[in-house]
Amino acid sequence: MKKIVNVLVLTGDGINCEEETALAFKEEGAVSKIVHIADLIAHPEQLHEAQILALPGGFSFGDELGSGQVLALKLRHALGAELKKFVDSGKLVIGICNGFQALVRLGLLPKPFQERTMSLTHNRQGHFLDKWVSLEVPPSACLWTKALQEKTIQLPIRHGEGKIVFAGDEASQQLIYETLQFNGQIALRYREDVNGSYGRIAGICDQEGRIFGLMPHPEAATSNWLLPSGAQKNDGKGLAALIFKSGIDYCEKHL
């Protein structure tokens, strides 16, 4: 008998991908629950009933102080202790686009609860990007991408602040990058320089591979009907569905 995997999908003012994200998990067999950030703050016990926390894409709180900043502040100050318990218990977190930005500003990536060494800033083009891109999935510690490693996948991006930058001078930035590579934390990479992101990084995980942040939108590519080319459209599942399935499979086996 399969274990029930509960996924808590966060929503709130400006978040607009919660329905698609919840559906992506549901289609792979999980029980998805969409919860407003205000309701989660009022009832934090909901967090501990779940095995996966998902922060979807959108423009949380209008990105007034920077993408994901207000959401990160709310999570840190109202739920910081509860989030630490959640992460320390070995559960999983995924942040997509705005959710990735929030995870970085919250301090969960690249190393949970340590000094921040990276950020996401304005694309090198200086404007919003909305298009499909090709991505490489390198070998990494990321349990979310285990079934995709060494494959090339297509996913859509929709962001204005997706450029990954590292702290410090040039030598310090290179050291941070090399450390992430050595630790197997670079989980997704653009095949071309899409937005100026350091090393063409599109997604990273923590050292254990349980916390995953990515700028592209896998929830918008779970079916081949969603692919941009008419020649590619069919009844098959999109490769992106394996991201959600991998997270669920891990929870069934280990949590």
Q: Which of the residues are catalytic?
A: 97, 217, 219
Strands (E), 13-88: 31-36, 52-55
Report angle CA 89, 210, 6 to the nearest 5 degrees: 65
How distant, in Å, are the alpha carbons of 27, 101, 157, 207, 216 from that of 134?
Answer: 24, 21, 10, 25, 10
Asked if residue 7 lies in contact with residue 30, where contact means CB atoms within 8 angstroms, the answer is yes
- Token output for 60: 């949380």
CA atoms of 247 and 8, how far apart (whole Å): 13
CA atoms of 76 and 78, how far apart (whole Å): 6
Buried b (16+ CB within 10 A) or exposed e, 65-85: eebbbbbbebbeebbeebbee
Asked if residue 99 lies in contact with residue 68, where contact means CB atoms within 8 angstroms, the answer is yes
- Token output for 62: 């209008």
Cis peptide upstream of residue 110 (ω within 30 degrees of 0): yes
